[in-house]
Amino acid sequence: SAVISQKPSRDICQRGTSLTIQCQVDSQVTMMFWYRQQPGQSLTLIATANQGSEATYESGFVIDKFPISRPNLTFSTLTVSNMSPEDSSIYLCSVEISLYEQYFGPGTRLTVT
């Protein structure tokens, strides 16, 4: 398993601003993922972040809106840019430990006013 932490745990932001979410894992992992969970809905994959390469975004998500950094094997950041109320969601990072098994962080609850 892995211990994953996220900062901040929650935030309330004004529209038009940006928020950077941090994800830290207690061991070195190759693959990290960022998911979004909109209110009352299930999780949707935003992008896959591998160390040393550009993040790979899923359909409907673009780098200009959700820039991602992956500077080393234990850390990643997701920025939500130019926020609107529709970006209010829980954002979760996950890591792949073995055999495609994923472990998730506690999430960041974002409210955009």
Pick one of 58, 65, 67, 79: the residue that binds other proteins (CB under 8 A): 58
d(CA 76, CA 90): 17
The alpha helices in the chain, defined as continuous H runs, are: none
34 binds other proteins (CB under 8 A): no
Q: Work out the burial of residue 36: count CB atoms within 10 Å of its CB; fewer than 13 is exposed, 13-18 middle, 19 or more buried.
A: buried
Asked if 73 is part of the footprint of other proteins (rule: CB under 8 A), the reply reads: no
**Per CB under 8 A, does 106 bind other proteins?**
yes
Token reading at 77: 């950041």
Min. distance of Cβ 67 from other proteins in angstroms?
Answer: 20
Judged by CB, which is closer to other proteins: 6, or 77? 6
Chain centre distance of CA 76: 8
Among 7, 13, 24, 43, binds other proteins (CB under 8 A): 43
Q: Residue 40 is encoded by which pair of tokens?
A: 């009352």
Q: What does the binding site for other proteins look like in residue numbers (CB under 8 A)? A: 1, 4, 6, 31, 33, 41-45, 48, 58, 90, 92, 94, 96, 99-107, 109
